[in-house]
């Protein structure tokens, strides 16, 4: 079956760095997405990786290793507004998105 694994919850301190991991087993691979979802709101797009390596976008970076079925989202200089759930999703060979359950990130002052 297809599976996306990410930690349920993480806690970090304001100003620090946090890495949220995502491992996947899917039928084919056509890219990996990260979305941010604040409580009670809709998910919003953060990043897309289809090739191995690191994609940097401001304070957020996303890494992909296709051979290991692994990705991480790196958040630097954490701010209180970064408290949210972070959703990992993989596009399979049928171009359908398979979603992880999300990682709830709690930022403490």
Contact residues toward another protein (CB under 8 A) are: 4, 8, 30-31, 33, 35, 41-45, 48, 87, 89, 91, 95-102
Nearer to another protein, 70 or 99 (CB): 99
- Cβ-based nearer residue to another protein, 18 or 36: 36
Q: Minimum CB separation from another protein for residue 14, in Å?
A: 27
Task: Pick left, alpha or beta for residue 8 (phi over 0 → left; psi -120 to 50 → alpha; otherwise beta).
Answer: alpha
CB of 36 to another protein, least distance (A): 11
Q: Rounded CA gap, 2 and 90, in Å?
A: 10
Q: What is the DSSP string of 51-66?
A: SSEEEEETTEEEEEET
Tallying the residues shown for the chain, one arrives at: 109
Report the nearest approach of another protein to the CB of residue 15 (Å): 29
Least distance between another protein and beta carbon 21 (Å)? 15
> Which CB, 3 or 11, lies closer to another protein?
3
Nearer to another protein, 30 or 61 (CB): 30
- Closest residue by Cα to residue 15 from 81, 77, 84, 61: 77
CA 79 to the chain's CA centroid? 17
């Amino acid at each position: 079956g297809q599976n996306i694994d990410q930690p349920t919850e993480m806690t970090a301190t304001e100003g620090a760095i946090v890495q949220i991991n995502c491992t996947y087993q899917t039928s084919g691979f056509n890219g990996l997405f990260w979305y941010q979802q604040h409580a009670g709101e809709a998910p919003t797009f953060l990043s897309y990786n289809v090739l191995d390596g690191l994609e940097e976008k401001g304070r957020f970076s996303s890494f992909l290793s296709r051979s290991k079925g692994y990705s991480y989202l790196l958040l630097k200089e954490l701010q209180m507004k970064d408290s949210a759930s972070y959703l990992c999703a993989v596009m399979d060979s049928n171009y359908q998105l398979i979603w992880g359950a999300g990682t709830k990130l709690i930022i403490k002052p």
